[in-house]
Amino acid sequence: MKRVLVVDDEANMCIVLKMNLEKDGFSVITAGNGREAVNLLEDNNIFDLIISDLRMPGIGGMGILEYLKKNNKKIPLIFITAYGSIETAVEAMKMGAYDFITKPFNRNVIRHTVRSVFKMDKLENENSFLREIFNKGDLIYRSKSMKDIMDMVKKIAKVPTPVLITGESGTGKGLIARMIHNMDDEKKPFIRINCPSIPPTLFESELFGFQRGAFTGATKDFKGKLRIADGGIVFLDEIADLPLNIQPKLLRLLEDSSFEPLGSNTTIKISTRFICATNHNIKKLVEQGAFRKDLYYRINTITINIPPLREKPQDILPLTEYFIKKYSTEMGKKIEGISEEVKEAFLNYNWPGNVRELKNLIERAVVLNSEKIIRLSDISLEFDTGQAGPMDEDNSRQLNRLSAVEKKLLTDTLNICGWNISKTARKLGITRSTLRYRMSKYKLNSG
């Protein structure tokens, strides 16, 4: 049973919410103010969701949010606000709240919002779930090609036609899929299925579900991801890795919206929109017989091709500025920009890892830098103006290696300084909070 913590200084509000949520099968604990809520959390009570009033005397809703962030507790938080002060609520969303509801509200709104939390929560990888939702809307561009893509996204957001998003790794395919979802109706389910991460033998049951007894070990019915996405969007990421034996079943689903779960004769009808993404040339795979032609035609009714970063240099500096702002705020630094030299180098660079590479590069530069301006020497470690080809395994390995370098630098310095945080931070020329941020990122602790 899911456990919900309801926090409100109005006792009536707590009672009403508790009653409604319990009717829907949740277990509910209430707290009369932020202090009480934080105490419950500090005592290691487990909650799957917190619904809290935004304004309360003492520790308010924002205080709870800060506590969660500081302690790295990934519990989704929904705010209730009576003041109609949407701005504060939006601010809270930016800080990581899951959603907000304005008072007075009806029961269905609460129910819908709560349900949307759990649908996503269950299926998405924890980190990316929190990250991607809260960064919604942050698509940065200046180039004509991206503007055209956004116009297209706006046009197609509301129609249920399948969309195929293509582009090199790190160009923002996942982000565009999210944008389509946001522009359509972000309250609808959005289920991402990362094809390469599901073992081929489990694919069918993961997607289509199974009936009890369908195979040894199937002791209960299992719904499968597709049924959970009913009424919303299924995002098939890295579609080139879809096993061949699943393809006919998927084709039929795309054609007449129906399928049978494993071991069952009952036909299930669902209404979902399919968005697929790939960094492979599927057409080639079709020619080689590694991907079904009929399925290919079906999924690419609309194709969005995102150009590599090197082909839209107008976006490089706006993105750089955006990531600098993002990471300096996150790490409490005052970095203002990059030097002219870096600008020139960025504009001439090949960007095999596209926006992701730029993002990672800036993140590292912000961590390691203590001056206002990022200079070429600050990034020379990983920065290479050589003419690399498109992102391939070598490049992604290189990115991994860079994280390894950073991790080693942190560990070595921590060891030299006897794991004294202040000393280590001083030695590295970064603030203590930045150091803690990096340590938690790489899961470094002295024990």
Ligand X SMILES: Nc1ncnc2c1ncn2[C@@H]1O[C@H](COP(=O)(O)OP(=O)(O)OP(=O)(O)O)[C@@H](O)[C@H]1O
Binding site for Mg ion (CB under 5 A): 173-174
367 CB neighbour count, 10 Å cutoff: 22
138 binds ligand X (CB under 6 A): yes
The angle at the Cα of 290, spanning 284 to 295, to the nearest 5 degrees, equals 85
Q: At its nearest, how many Å lie between ligand X and the CB of residue 319?
A: 6
340 binds, among Mg ion, ligand X, none (CB under 5 to 8 A by kind): none
CA–CA separation, 252 and 267 (whole Å): 12
Q: At its nearest, how many Å lie between ligand X and the CB of residue 239?
A: 11
Which run of H or of E encompasses 373? strand 373-374
Give the residue with the Cβ less far from ligand X, 192 or 438.
192
Long-range pairs of 416-423 with CB within 8 A, sequence gap ≥ 24: 419/446
Show the DSSP H helices in 160-239 as ranges: 173-185, 203-208, 225-228
Q: From the list 60, 76, 170, 308, which residue makes contact with ligand X (rule: CB under 6 A)?
A: 170
Q: From the list 62, 355, 374, 379, which residue makes contact with ligand X (rule: CB under 6 A)?
A: 355
DSSP state of 271: -
> Under rule CB under 6 A, which residues in 261-290 are in contact with ligand X?
279
What is residue 408's three-state secondary structure? helix
181 binds ligand X (CB under 6 A): no
Residue type for 434, please? T
Q: Are 221 and 228 in contact (CB under 8 A)?
A: no
Q: At its nearest, how many Å lie between Mg ion and the CB of residue 445?
A: 31
148 binds ligand X (CB under 6 A): no
352 binds ligand X (CB under 6 A): no
Give the residue with the Cβ less far from ligand X, 141 or 437.
141
312 binds ligand X (CB under 6 A): no
Stretch that binds ligand X, among 6-14, 45-53, 134-142, 362-370 (CB under 6 A): 134-142
Q: Are 205 and 222 in contact (CB under 8 A)?
A: yes
Per the structure block, which two tokens stand in for 404?
A: 């390894």
317 binds ligand X (CB under 6 A): no
Return the residue matching tokens 């630098």.
409
118 binds, among Mg ion, ligand X, none (CB under 5 to 8 A by kind): none
181 binds, among Mg ion, ligand X, none (CB under 5 to 8 A by kind): none
152 binds ligand X (CB under 6 A): no
Q: At its nearest, how many Å lie between ligand X and the CB of residue 183?
A: 15
341 CB neighbour count, 10 Å cutoff: 11
Question: Which phi and psi (to 5°) does residue 259 adopt?
Answer: -165, 165
Q: Are 163 and 156 in contact (CB under 8 A)?
A: yes
174 binds ligand X (CB under 6 A): yes
Number of residue whose CB is nearest Mg ion: 174
169 binds, among ligand X, Mg ion, none (CB under 5 to 8 A by kind): ligand X
61 binds ligand X (CB under 6 A): no
Q: At its nearest, how many Å lie between ligand X and the CB of residue 442?
A: 18
Q: At its nearest, how many Å lie between ligand X and the CB of residue 421?
A: 28
Q: Are 207 and 245 in contact (CB under 8 A)?
A: no
Q: Are 67 and 41 in contact (CB under 8 A)?
A: yes
169 binds ligand X (CB under 6 A): yes
Give the residue with the Cβ less far from ligand X, 43 or 126.
126
CA–CA separation, 95 and 93 (whole Å): 5
Shortest CA distance to 229 belongs to which of 160, 298, 303? 160
> Under rule CB under 6 A, which residues in 427-446 are in contact with ligand X?
none
Rule CB under 6 A: which residues touch ligand X?
138-141, 167, 169-175, 279, 319, 355-356, 359
